[in-house]
Amino acid sequence: MSHSPPAPWSPPPAPHLLRSLARSWLDEDAPWPDPTLATLGDTATRAELLSKIGEGSAGAVLAGSPFAEAVFGVSGCRVSWRIPEGSPLPPGRAVVAEVEGPAAGVLGGERVALNILGRCSGVASMAARAVGVARAQGWAGVVAGTRKTTPGFRLAEKYALGVGGADPHRAGLGGLLLLKDNHRALAAAAGGMRQVILGARRAGGFTRKVEVECASAEEALEAAAAGADIVLLDNLSPQELRAVSARLKAAHPALTVEASGGIALETLPQFLGPHVDVVSMGCLTHGAPGLDFSLKVLEP
């Protein structure tokens, strides 16, 4: 089976952070002892972790194994992976990994680990499909996610975007300085867009770029002239996007132009203009269907 390693901008989190997340997820699922495991306890157990890929999930990609392995590790178990992270998942049932450890650990971590793999693999698969669509059109720009993620699970979803070949985009409000439509609505009271951009740049320091969300050519040209590093053209039609991005690049060749707003896999080719550098898609996370995984305990 061919192996596509995770994108270089999406390495797995540090081990201590993986363990911390694993503990929090296990605490959520089992805040009290589970009486069903009382009689099983430390019984040595082996189980197969299976993917179950249906006909509608062609191009599925495995993602989330560092997080799932951390869950089983905190539960006192060992995981041996049969399919590497980032690899295609074959159709039908396939053994993804083998889990060994005490029964309480294997069964206690089961559902959390399966949920992680299902969600992360769904996001990575959606990202891989979007990147595939873009490359098939001959477009070499960046396909990115957005901040439309699940509270408490953002780190895993951002990581999964990278496994699928997409850029995770900013991790949170403390990263890229993004001035959105509501910032623009308040800009007049703060002295205008130029003052807002200058203020954000001073507060954020020299290491951070400033991006401004714009809904028209006038707003975009104003933001670029005021010193924005990136202009996000939001909810423009494909025709408007091509025209505005061409005007922006003609006036500001070094500017990064990002397109976003309701872009789906089916409509993505329409937004891949020659003057667009980035296309960000919220559907890569909030619209990604989860994949199906299960755990089967083997006979002693």
- Active-site residues, by number, are 148
Length of the chain: 300
d(CA 261, CA 232): 10
Contact 40, 289 (CB under 8 A): no
Q: Which residues contact 120 (CB under 8 A, 6 or more apart)?
A: 63, 64, 67, 156, 157, 159, 160, 163
Contact 289, 128 (CB under 8 A): no
Contact 279, 144 (CB under 8 A): yes
Q: CA dist 167 to 6, 32, 83, 85, 237, Å? A: 11, 39, 23, 17, 23
Strand 92-102 and strand 78-81: the pairing is antiparallel
Please work out, in degrees rounded to the nearest 5, the angle formed at the alpha carbon of residue 296 by the alpha carbons of 85 and 14.
35
Q: Using CA of residue 209, residue 148, residue 130, residue 245, what is the dihedral sign?
A: negative
